[in-house]
């Protein structure tokens, strides 16, 4: 799939996945896209745990109110952020994680799979710490994002976006257009 077509086709999938395993080579390809993302000061603060064990997936899914996308996921990619400062006292961990996740969202779309960026549920009720314990993640690393991955049972489509001229401007912001 061509890059701009992939970007246009990406959507957040929240439904059920097919009961088909995602092979490790595909998962490695997706995570490599995350590893290849830009990183502030090239500090490379984002690490990944690829979860393809059904029992672990079920334990993580139980933290997210039994959302279908988590319950039926055949794999999960857990993104870890290292808040260690990269430039003086400044850490780029959240920005680094976001760029890695965006690359993986596009890679997941390009290989014909689906996912949704889960961060709110991760931050709620100490779920980040619970997931960290399940996966053997120690401080200073922090669980930041979970991507459930699989083949969607139903088609999805991107949300409608506002037109270009309502969100982008040349040379000066134009509020009242």
Which residues form the domain of 83? 3-167
Task: List the CATH number of the domain containing 102.
Answer: 3.40.109.10
Dmax over CA atoms of the chain, in Å, equals 53
String of DSSP letters for 104-143: HHHHHHHTT-BB--B-HHHHGGGHHHHHHHHHT--TT-EE
In a domain, 30, yes or no: yes
Q: Are 142 and 80 in contact (CB under 8 A)?
A: yes
Which of helix, strand or coil describes residue 78?
strand
Mean pLDDT value across residues 50-64: 96
pLDDT at 76 over 60: yes
d(CA 88, CA 38): 19
Mean pLDDT value across residues 123-148: 96
In a domain, 93, yes or no: yes
Residue-wise pLDDT tens digits, 84-120: 998 999 999 999 999 999 999 999 999 999 999 999 9
pLDDT at 177 over 60: no
> Which pLDDT belongs to residue 157?
85
Report the percent of the chain where pLDDT is more than 90: 87
In a domain, 172, yes or no: no
Q: What does the CA dihedral 111, 141, 133, 145 come to, rounded to 10 degrees?
A: -40
Residue-wise pLDDT tens digits, 8-45: 999 999 999 999 999 999 999 999 999 999 999 999 99
> Which pLDDT belongs to residue 174?
87
Q: How many domains does the chain have?
A: 1
């Amino acid at each position: 799939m061509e890059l701009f077509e992939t970007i246009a086709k990406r959507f957040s999938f929240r439904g059920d996945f097919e009961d088909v395993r995602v092979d490790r080579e595909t998962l490695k390809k997706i995570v490599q896209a995350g590893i290849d993302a830009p990183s502030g000061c090239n500090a490379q603060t984002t690490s990944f745990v690829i979860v393809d064990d059904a029992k672990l997936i079920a334990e993580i899914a139980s933290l997210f109110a039994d959302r279908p996308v988590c319950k039926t996921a055949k794999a999960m990619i857990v993104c870890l952020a290292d808040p260690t400062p990269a430039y003086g006292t400044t850490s780029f961990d959240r920005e680094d994680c976001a760029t890695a996740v965006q690359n993986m969202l596009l890679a997941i779309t390009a290989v014909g799979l689906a996912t949704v960026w889960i961060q709110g549920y991760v931050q709620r009720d100490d779920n980040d710490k619970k997931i960290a314990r399940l996966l053997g993640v120690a401080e200073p690393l922090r669980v930041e994002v979970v991507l459930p991955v699989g083949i969607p049972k139903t088609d999805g489509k991107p949300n409608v976006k506002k037109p270009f001229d309502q969100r982008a401007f040349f040379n000066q912001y134009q509020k009242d257009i």
